A and B are shown apart, each in its own frame.
Chain A
Amino acid sequence: MPVVFSRVEERLIHGQITCAWAKAIEFDAFVIVDDTTAGDEFMSSLLEMSVPIGKKLYILDEAAAPCGIGSMTEKLFLLAKSPLTFARLAEKGVLFDKVNIGSVHYKPGKKEIYKTVCLSEEEIQALRELMQRGIPCEIQKLPTESRKNIADLL
C-alpha cells in the first residue's frame, strides 16, 4: 500500500489538485477517504469525472479504508477532508510519511491557524497525535509554494 502523498483537502479533488498537484506528484490513483462522499453516488460521479486522464480514483468510507488501501498495489494519492481522518487511519495502521494540508475553510467552532486553514480543537489534537507518531504535518497550498510546518503554528 504505497501512499506517496496525503493531503487534507476540504474540496477533495478540485482545480489545485488536478492542475498542480497531480502533475507534481508521481502517482497512479487518488484514494478519497470520506464517509459522506462514499455514500453519495452523485458526488462520486462528479469526482470521477474530474480525475485527470491516466489517473484512477477510489472512494472509500473510513471503515473500509485500512483494508482497502492495504490491498492496493498502485502508488496512491490519499485525500480526506479532515486531519481527524488521517489520525484514525494512522491508528489503524495505514502508513504515510507526511500530511500535507491544503484548504480547510472557517466554520463556527474552528480557528484560523494559518491563511485559509481553519481547524477545530479536535483537529488540532489530531495533528498533534500525527506528529507524535513521527508524521510531519505541513501547510502547502501549491507545489510551487514554500511549506509551513504545523508544529511551529500550534
Chain B
Amino acid sequence: MTGVIVTGHGNYASGMLSAVRLLTGESERLRAVDFLPKESEDTLKQHLEEALSHMRELDHIYILCDILGGSPFKMSCILGRDRPHIHILYGINLPVLLDISMDVAGNLEIGDPKTRGEALLAEGKKHMGIVQNTVSY
C-alpha cells in the first residue's frame, strides 16, 4: 500500500489536502505537513517524522514538496535518506496530488515507484496550460 505526505510553505499542504478531500475524499494515508512562519526546520522535521510514523506499515510513501530548495524539500530529503521506500517529488500541483490520491484510495499497486513518479510529473505538466480564445467574434 501507498501513503502520501504533502508538505509546503504556509498552509499550502493542508490547503491542497482540503481540495483533495472535496474532490476525491478522505484517507488516513494522505497527510499534510505545513511549514508555518514561526517554525524552525527542526520543528518541521519533527512534524514530518510524526506523519511518517503513521505510515510505518506501508510499502511506498510519496512525499510531495511545494518547491525545490525550500525547507520542506530539504527536510524531506534528509528523512528520505537511506529509506528507499520514500519517494520525493517537488514542484507539485493539485493534479499530481489528485492522481496519486486515486492510487491511495483504490489501494492500487503502483508498480515501479520511479516510473510511477515520472508518470505523476507528466500528469502535472499535462494539466498546465494557457487558454487561447477567450474573445468571441
Q: Residue of B at shortest CB range from A118?
A: B40
CA distance A47 to B73 in the complex (A): 10
B residues in contact with A106, CB < 8 Å: 40
Contact between chains at A14 and B70 (CB < 8 Å) = yes
Does A49 make an interface contact (CB < 8 A)?
Answer: yes
Does A24 make an interface contact (CB < 8 A)?
Answer: no
B residues in contact with A103, CB < 8 Å: 40
26 residue pairs of the A-B complex, CB under 8 angstroms, read A11-B41, A11-B74, A14-B41, A14-B69, A14-B70, A14-B71, A15-B67, A15-B70, A18-B68, A18-B69, A18-B70, A19-B67, A42-B81, A43-B78, A46-B74, A46-B77, A46-B78, A47-B74, A49-B69, A50-B68, A50-B74, A52-B69, A105-B41, A105-B42, A106-B40, A116-B38
Task: Find residues 26-60 in chain A having any chain B CB closer than 8 Å to their own CB.
Answer: 42-43, 46-47, 49-52
B residues in contact with A116, CB < 8 Å: 37-38
Does A13 make an interface contact (CB < 8 A)?
Answer: yes
By a beta-carbon cutoff of 8 Å, the part of chain B in contact with chain A is 9, 37-38, 40-42, 67-71, 73-74, 77-78, 81
Contact residue range for chain A? 20 to 34
If A10-B40, A10-B41, A46-B74 touch, does A15 touch B69 (CB 8 Å cutoff)?
A: yes
Checking A14, A51, A52 against B74 with a beta-carbon cut-off of 8 angstroms, the contacting residue is A14
A141 to chain B, nearest CB (A): 9
Of the listed residues B38, B69, B70, B78, the one surrounded by the most CB atoms of chain A closer than 10 A to its CB is B69
A55 to chain B, nearest CB (A): 11
By a beta-carbon cutoff of 8 Å, the part of chain A in contact with chain B is 10-11, 13-15, 17-19, 42-43, 46-47, 49-52, 103, 105-106, 116
If A42-B81, A46-B77 touch, does A15 touch B71 (CB 8 Å cutoff)?
A: yes
CA distance A8 to B117 in the complex (A): 36
A residues in contact with B40, CB < 8 Å: 10, 103, 105-106
What 6 A-B pairs are tightest by C-beta distance, nearest first?
A: A50-B69, A105-B40, A15-B70, A18-B69, A14-B71, A46-B77
